[in-house]
Amino acid sequence: MTPSKQEIRQKIAQLSEDIFHYDQLYYTGNPIVSDAVYDALCQELEELEKRYPAFIHPLSRQNRVGTPVEKNKFSPVQHMRPMLSLDNMFTASEISTFQKRLNRFLKRDEKCTLEFYTELKIDGLSVALTYENGFLIRAATRGDGQVGENITDNVKTIGNIPHILSGNYPTERLEIRGEAYFPKSDFEIFNEKQRQQEGQIFANPRNAAAGSLRQLDSHITAKRSLKFFAYDLVLPGAQQHETQADVIKNLKVWGLDVIPKPLCSSHPEAIEKYYDQINQSRASFDFDIDGLVLKVNDISLQKDLGFVARAPRWAVALKFPAEAGETTLESIDIQVSRAGVLTPVARLSPVLLNGTIVKNATLHNADEISRKNLRIGDKVLVERSGDVIPKIIHVIPSQQKRADPFLFPTTCPECHSPALQEPGQAAIRCTGGFECPAQQREKLKHFVSRKAFDIDGMGEKNIEYFWNRGDLKTPLDLFFLEERDQTSLTPLRTQPGWGRKSANNLFQSIEDKKNISLDRFIYALGIQFIGQETSKLIAQHYQTALTWFESMECLVQESSDTDEQSKRLLSIDGIGPKGVVSLKAFFSLSKNASLVSDLISSLSIKSLHESTEPSKLGSLDGQTFLFTGTLSIPRSEAEKRTQMHGGKIATSLSAKTSYLVVGDKPGSKVAKAQSLGIPCLTEDAWQELLES
């Protein structure tokens, strides 16, 4: 008797769930079926999936470990809400001050109590999990807070992350945030295996976790015993919980592990006591922690408090005291920044601090070396806190004869131009400017960096490689690398470490980035005091690259009597005199002006409001769409097509929604749309609307 479609769907689901269960046991070292049985089940599932692709289950092996690595393996992912970092406090005595500051912002009496949900600050890698209709569909890193990297295949190998949520969940789509970490007990075993196999040894569990989640082969990630703690929930609309504690309870109900030993209290003294207890017992946990996180427990107050530029106002990290250790100052090297600043770096005998081997420490400038009276060969106390760059606290007194005082160079170690200290400035700068190789290299590294041109495959090592080959001296050279390579006697594809594919991939990445927004272009130039936000302000004001460039040419010609362009710049809220002086100094150098002019001629520089995507077709301009149910194509593809035609995508149904596009098994949205008078379209009707 031929099985029905429903029976086939159930069979595929059962096989997928059984194989998923066996995979989890295998990767944790507890297999319960033989390879022969496992292979037979996989073969049966594969044959059914080939014949009935519409019935492929979310837990299918096709959606998990071992899928072919795509070119966009770590493709960009836009977060549902920015994944911001936290402001820091370093002593428990600051808790009361923090509480008073929040009360002042809320326009309440400073003595009003505020309940905090306090949890351990896990020292791992922040990850955002996206679930749709209860199924895990995507996982991403924090990235720059706005956009992360897609690490879904690797995250799906973490044993305690559910692929399907248990219980009931409030919306079709939700994002769960937390920390992926490497348990300390497993980390020791893992590193020992690496030593035996002469593999990479990791300095600490955090580095191992980060490296594991960036593997191109998810089988490798699966064998590394990573774990996950959930600590936050993001919904497309308003938060549906009253307190942070309620959020955590729900995460547990859905099957996620949450951070243990939290404290809910409105008394600073109780939180201080908790801080001391955790600090004293932190070594007993099987995961690294570097402090506590305090969150206002009341969700409505969180909303009232809102956010500052880079962090929520309603949460703060309370860091544990820095770890310090004794070591020897072996030498002091001088590095040259892209702005020409000569920065001293201490080279130290290796010392283990906070799970990391420290070999270098910042010395900031010549004044600090003099103030701390540092000399080569001194025993010094070095401190490292969390991810902060290690620093030398002081020299440890000794009876041994000391070396002579360190003489800060008076010339640039790279180009030998005079190094001068401007009046009132701590920094000593190379005067070589554009002629200094170190500054040129650092400017190139900045030019291709993630927040600038973001050229895939052109990192620091390749900048150095092309620099040493003589192929790359200015940013303009980047965009003619392929042209030069075609006539070279030693083309890139023939060089050690390169091949035809890797060379073509790099050239294509460079070609793709010839389209860039004006703000990124300005930021990429590395002009002193013109950072990312200032670049956006300038781009918004001038709109086009040519308008901006012509205005800068006029700025250079200005005197005290004619200062129209200076006044125009100063009229932009957020730009001050330092920025104006820096822009004028930059464009006063003819080489800089020529470089910018040539780049503008060679690139396609868009205004801040222009899309860098292919041009929209315009048939859906001003209309907002929401999709529900199962479509014949992935929902992400349907949303992309809608946006390509000028439409917008809604995250929830409201009176502002123009159309609800309805697939199979749509759920309750249809009834709500009808009650709001919102037209419902079938998938075919939506396709016709696109083509009209």
Non-local (6+) Cβ contacts of 425 within 8 A are none
CA dihedral sign, ordered 520, 523, 526, 527? positive
Cβ 525 vs Cβ 586: under 8 Å: yes
Name the residues annotated as catalytic. Answer: 121
Task: Give the CA dihedral 161, 162, 163, 168, nearest 10 degrees.
Answer: -140
Token pair 């970490």 is found at: 181
Q: What is the DSSP letter of 406?
A: P
* Angstrom distance (rounded) from CA 178 to CA 234: 11
* Angstrom distance (rounded) from CA 612 to CA 604: 10
Cβ 180 vs Cβ 213: under 8 Å: yes
Cβ 186 vs Cβ 225: under 8 Å: yes
Cβ 25 vs Cβ 32: under 8 Å: yes
C-alpha distances in Å from residue 664, one per residue of 3, 11, 550, 649, 650: 22, 21, 56, 19, 19
List alpha helices for 513-574, DSSP H: 518-524, 532-542, 545-557, 564-570
Cβ 177 vs Cβ 83: under 8 Å: yes
C-alpha distances in Å from residue 579, one per residue of 572, 582, 589, 597, 650: 11, 5, 16, 20, 39
Token pair 């010392």 is found at: 351
Both tokens assigned to 7: 């029976």
Cβ 57 vs Cβ 21: under 8 Å: no
C-alpha distances in Å from residue 447, one per residue of 318, 404, 440, 452, 458: 35, 40, 10, 6, 10
* Angstrom distance (rounded) from CA 248 to CA 464: 48
296 by Cβ neighbours in 10 Å (0-12 / 13-18 / 19+) ranks as buried
Both tokens assigned to 462: 């390749």
Rg (the chain; Cα; Å): 29
* Angstrom distance (rounded) from CA 564 to CA 576: 15
**Long-range CB contact pairs, 447-451, < 8 A, 24+:** 447/475, 447/478, 447/524, 447/525, 447/526, 448/478, 449/524, 450/144, 451/144, 451/520, 451/523, 451/532
C-alpha distances in Å from residue 576, one per residue of 371, 444, 520, 583, 585: 32, 26, 20, 11, 15
Q: Please tell me whether residue 212 adopts helix, strand or coil conformation.
A: helix
**Which DSSP helix (H) or strand (E) runs through 605?**
strand 604-606
Q: Please tell me whether residue 637 adopts helix, strand or coil conformation.
A: helix
Cβ 288 vs Cβ 281: under 8 Å: no
Q: Please tell me whether residue 402 adopts helix, strand or coil conformation.
A: coil
| Residue 242, number of CB atoms within 10 A of its CB | 12
